[in-house]
Amino acid sequence: MVLTPFEVLDRATSEFEKRVRQVRDDQWDAPTPCEGWTVRDLVHHVVGADVMAVRLLEGSSTEDAMAVMATDVLGDDHVGAFVSARDAMVSALREERALERTCHHPIGDIPGAQLLGFRIADHTLHAWDLARAIGADEQLDPDLVAAVWQGMQPLAPFIGSMGLFGSGPTGEVPEDAPLQARLLDLAGRRAD
């Protein structure tokens, strides 16, 4: 099934929301597969990056957009904060010509379409991280996995040097392994 970019985004944010709604009160300080991050840190990262995306689409400088990451974007209502940030981010990305706008992202100037791709991958991969951390279902939407794989697989030769995905692929996951296992390995996640 071929999905539009916004259908992929909707599936990615749904996967993350499903897991964030399952976090119990006693799990916010639990470790995640993201080195040095607790469950709260991971959710803060995703929510903060959604808020940052809105600011970038509004024309903020890198510094102004990044400043949000130093604030408490979660407050006492983690789910509400996620839903609010997600809705604002989706709305901003859907604005007319938003995907053509230049965003002053920390990696450099990028088009809004690339920012959309970043938000899709972030929600998808961190949905798995969050599921792993809280003991929830780790199986991701197969069409979503295929879409993220298609976007990330061309980066395989140098993804480990980007500093965003751990050491990148291990080279040990066979080509006939399930696509989710290959995607997680590509993104520096170790499912064992």
Looking up residue 100, the CATH number of its domain turns out to be 1.20.120.450
Quote the tokens at residue 132.
Answer: 């792993």
Residue 48 DSSP one-character state? H
Secondary element (H or E) of residue 63 = helix 62-66
* Residue-number span of the structural domain to which 110 is assigned: 5-154
Cα(136)–Cα(127) distance, integer angstroms:
10
Cα(177)–Cα(36) distance, integer angstroms:
29
The answer to whether residue 188 is domain-embedded is no
Q: How confident is the model at residue 155 (pLDDT cuts 50, 70, 90)?
A: confident
Cα(117)–Cα(111) distance, integer angstroms:
10
pLDDT in tens, 11-27: 999 999 999 999 999 99
- For the chain, how many structural domains are there in total? 1
The answer to whether residue 179 is domain-embedded is no
pLDDT at residue 160 tops 80: no
The answer to whether residue 192 is domain-embedded is no
Predicted local distance difference test score (pLDDT) of residue 191: 66
- Overall pTM > 0.85: yes
The answer to whether residue 133 is domain-embedded is yes
Residue type, 112: G
Question: φ, ψ for residue 31 (rounded to 5)?
Answer: -70, 155
Burial, 76: exposed, middle or buried (Cβ in 10 Å; 0-12, 13-18, 19+)?
Answer: exposed
pLDDT in tens, 62-88: 999 889 999 999 999 999 999 999 999
pLDDT at residue 158 tops 90: no
The answer to whether residue 184 is domain-embedded is no
